[in-house]
Structure 1
Amino acid sequence: MLCAIQLEILVRELDGILYQTLHLAANGLPTLLGDRMVNEYINNGNAPLIYFDSDQQEATNSHVLKNDGVVINLNCEGQGFADDPIDMQKNFAKVINHTTQICLWGDRQKEMLASLIPSSRTDALITTGYPSFDLLQPKFQPFYHNDTISKQHGEDYILINTSFSMFNHEMGFDYYVKMLSKMDEWKIYGTPEYQESLRQRCDHQEKTALALIEVAQVLSRKYPERHIIIRPHPGENSSYYSEKVKDHDNIFVTKKYSAREWIASAGAVIHHDCTTGMEAMLMGKNVIQFEPYKAIEGSALLMTQIGHKSTCVTEVLQNIEHKTLPPDIRQKYLSELAPYLNNINSNAAGKIAQLAAQFAESNKQTWLPKPLGLIGQAKCWRKYVSKLLRARQPGRNGRKVRYALNKFPRLRKEEVVEKLKRLREVEPELPEVSVEQLCLNTFLIKPL
């Protein structure tokens, strides 16, 4: 059977999903992956396939199920490490009504969702981990090393990852929340009670962001020979930071490249409650958790436990001198993470691929999508060029389009082929595959 995966945020998801496609190929399964056109292909066809739903696409899920296909929910957000408010967890649980199987990052998330769905469907929950986190093993360090970053910033820069896209969203808080509340799967954002909790979170995020900016400025003066990199969350407005540090020549604000490419060469990584703090710890880096104000509901509380705890600039300066986390402390974090992240003890991509292969056993029919014709290709390019032009508009309209382009910029076939090649260099036992570009940003990957 054909597998299909639509990506939402390219820089966050691509590497892990490509790794997953190699494991699917090892089980004889081809994969259709890319942007919105993946769902266009699916909804315009009637052949059974295995659809990996990552964003609760009820209409697409129902279409797949109606055509004797399989829907495997593989949420790139991981049910918030099970520390989201209960109303948000209930929202995640709704996907049970139009899915075959839900793959969960860890046992704790499974326990949470099991308490929120009908007991007759708990067998649909399976703990797998998430494929992206398989790539945090030390052997994948060469895969993430970016020569361009190292040449420009060295191998000892200080990386500050921010995750404050609620108060500092590219489109503005009010507009972003209004947009979400119009979506069937996110109507919770429209309730007064939830909006009040979001505003409290915004206040906390803004205070913390301003404190992190002060940290960056102090580090800039303390270490004039080192570069300080501020990397905002993909949904954040970068100019919020760049305007406040423009007088510091060794502070750089950028969303370019993936977070892990920046982590790979960093001398130290600072975060508040960002998943990148966990990623940096797993990649063997010196991690500093900055918490100038007590965490509130809505913060990723598990993430705030990872790293040298620092509540002020002085403590950050002390902890920046560490070269890495002590082995016993790192082992403590691994033990605490294991119930939330199955990747700590097993390979998620392999487990998920085996699950898909089991479903494929019952249906040997494989539909392979064809490249779009000239007219279809032209429509894709027209939409993309229109976005490039509209992104130059001032005000909210321009910000909205820039946000969409940041989430999924143009993806070239050469980049896909190169990443697959580099993944196979780390794990040569994974199979060779062919890559066919069906249209702009959409590809078919098949085992040879």
Structure 2
Amino acid sequence: MHRPIFIPVETFNRELDSRLFLAARLATSKKRVFVGKHGSLARLFPHSKGAIYLGKSLVTPFFTSRLDELNQLHQAHGAFIHLDTEGAVFPGDEDDWRETLRSRIDPARLDGCDTICTWGEFQADYYRSDQPPPTITPTGEPRFDLYKEGYRAFYDAKVRELRQRFGDFILINTSLAKANNQLGIDYAFSPRSGYRAHSEEGRDFVLRSWERQTLALVAFVKLIHRLSNMLSGRKIVVRPHPSENQQFYHTVLAGLDNVFVIHEGSVAPWLLAAEAMIHDGCTTAVEAYFANAAIINYQVAAETAGAYLANSLGRHAHSEDEVLELLATTSRGDGGSVPEKARQLLQNFETDAIEALNQAVESTVDRLDVAPSCPTDEVVQRVEGRAFNTERAKRILRPLSRLRMKHNAYARSKFPGFKQPDIEFRLKAIERVTDVRLKFKIFSEDLLVIGQRV
């Protein structure tokens, strides 16, 4: 019987490609890998036995005591491999990093078959301080692997297309959702964003992030206007974080003919095609390092408050003039050296995360002492169909409020849904890169399964 592996995807453009590569590596004659939205995966727990869930969504950051779904997985003799999607690019100093790690997951809630896979040794050491500690393995994050030799050919066609479309363009990546959130300022100051009104420490952490990002937002808008004037012959692509309100940038940059506000597909081919990437504290800087892009950290606020890992790579500028100077003197492949502290935060500098996660899964299989049972296609189709009908009935009987519609639109923008031609295109490209023959089936816009084709 196949063992079910569940891999959640939160944000298409950020994670889908790496999770499909990971699924291709894990899919064997003895495993079926389900990829999709967390809710669709969790609904399959009662129909599975000995399953492995590889992701973070079984626990909610800042609400780590909510364990209903984790308990359900354990009741089905399954195991949880926790892999954070935001596991190293933390603001503040090392004490702030530890506070962030504490808010992400509580190791004491895990059982003997569970594992925490961290982005680096620093995070692993923090979680190992728990007594008794669960199994903890620093693996890195799979999406950074895709820029390395052996993977990056996956993006060749898209890179050629972007260079034909934009020429030698400058990419500006923003990560300023505290100041410019798609769901509004009320979300940025909500418990789900880490704000705790009755905790001075909790308030201070969010307020510092909000202050810094607000200053950075103003500075980036001014910088883009300046670059548009000074570099009128070059195209500038502004790519906001998926949690940001993109309309803000369309409004404040309107009329700049050489500036394009685009959040389209994975950032990987954009980084591989761009001549330079400008950011402040964005995880994309780490990806840019592996993509050999010229990285410019534009910081107008105190460096100590920023995201250390992202800002430790590339060159630094603190004024618009310095940005212009670096654009004239910095070229692709000029990423600079990697500080030892940064290496402690990200295992990808040393190892292949996809292979490390495959080993973590195999170790978990060895610890599970129950024969696996995988839901049949008929069961999966029935469960997904029932969920779809339930949601449709809710919309008819209880029309959505304006706020709820806004939340739903935000969720769909991050996860637009699986489409047959798109998944087929991606998996064929993965087959060419990996020499693994794959088959897949889409059950709904939110769920698909991948297996090995023999």
Under TM normalisation by the shorter chain, which class is it? 0.7 to 0.9
Check if 1:89 corresponds to 2:101.
Answer: yes
- 8 A contact 2:98–2:126 mirrored in 1: no
- Equivalent residue for 2:116? 102
Residue 338 of structure 1 aligns to a residue whose secondary structure is helix
CA contact (8 A) 1:168 1:237 kept: yes
What is the Cα deviation at residue 424 of structure 1?
2.7
In the superposition, the TM-score normalised over structure 2's length comes to 0.86
Judge conservation of contact 2:272–2:292 (CA < 8 Å) in 1: no
Q: SS at 1:252's partner residue?
A: strand
Please name the residue that 2:57 is paired with.
55
Structure 2 Cα separation of the partners of residues 149 and 395 of structure 1: 37
Q: 1:166 aligns with which of 178, 203, 224?
A: 178
Task: Note the aligned Cα RMSD (angstroms).
Answer: 2.9
5 Å-filtered alignment, 1:305-344, equals: 305-324=312-331, 330=336, 332-333=337-338, 337-344=342-349
Q: Given the alignment of the two structures, is residue 346 of structure 1 paired with residue 360 of structure 2, yes or no?
A: no
Partners of 1:258 and 1:382 in 2: CA distance: 32
Gaps of 5+ in 1: none
Q: 1:139 to 1:176 in 2, by over 3 A?
A: same
Which digits, 9 at most, give the CA deviation of each residue in 1:187-209, with x for residues without a partner? 85874531333123212111111
Equivalenced residue count is: 432
Q: Distance in 2 between matches of 1:59 and 1:198?
A: 28
The secondary structure found in structure 1 opposite 2:70 is: helix
C-alpha distance after superposition, 1:124-177 (max 9, x if no partner): 1111112111112144333234255334322x1100000001121111122344
Gaps of 5+ in 2: 60-66
1:113 equivalent among 127, 146, 163: 127
- The residue aligned with 1:435 is 440
Any conservation in 2 of the 1:334–1:344 contact (CA below 8 Å)?
A: no
Aligned to 2:162: 149
Alpha-carbon distance between aligned partners in 2 of 1:5 and 1:398, rounded to the nearest angstrom:
27
Letter matched to residue 150 of structure 1: R
Counterparts of 2:381 and 2:143, CA distance in 1: 33
Q: Offset of 1:433 from its aligned partner?
A: 1.7
Percent identical pairs in the alignment equals 22
Q: Which moved further from structure 2: 336-345 or 215-224?
A: 336-345
SS in structure 2 of the partner of residue 287 of structure 1: strand
Shift of 1:28: 4.0
The offset of 1:219, in angstroms, is: 1.3
The alpha-carbon deviation at position 104 of structure 1 amounts to 0.9
Structure 1 residues 402 and 192, CA, compared in 2 at 3 Å: closer, same or farther? farther
The answer to whether the 8 Å contact 2:286/2:309 transfers is no
Structure 2 distance, partners of 1:375, 1:98, is 27
Asked if 2 retains the 8 angstrom alpha-carbon contact of 1:56 and 1:95, the reply is no
- Which of 127, 131, 134 is the matching residue for 2:138? 127
Letter in structure 2 aligned against 1:212? F
Match of 1:20 in 2: 22
Q: Are 2:419 and 1:447 equivalent residues in the alignment?
A: no
Question: After superposition, what is the alpha-carbon deviation per residue over 1:14-36, rounded to whole angstroms, capped at 9, x for unaligned?
Answer: 11111111111258422111013
Which amino acid in structure 2 is aligned with residue 15 of structure 1? D
The alignment partner of 1:167 has SS state of coil
- The verdict on how the C-alpha distance between 1:443 and 1:373 changes in structure 2, with shifts beyond 3 A counting, is closer
What residue is the counterpart of 2:64 in the other structure? none
Mapping of residues 158-237 of structure 1, within 5 Å: 158-178=170-190, 180=192, 191-237=199-245
Q: 1:259: how far off?
A: 1.6
Match of 1:2 in 2: 4
- In the superposition, relative to structure 1, how do residues 28 and 222 fare at CA in structure 2: closer, same or farther (>3 Å)? farther
CA offset at residue 95 of structure 1?
4.3
Aligned-residue offset at 1:396: 4.3
Q: Cα distance, 1:273 vs. partner?
A: 0.7
* TM score, norm. by length of structure 1: 0.87
Per the alignment, in what secondary structure is the counterpart of residue 328 of structure 2? coil
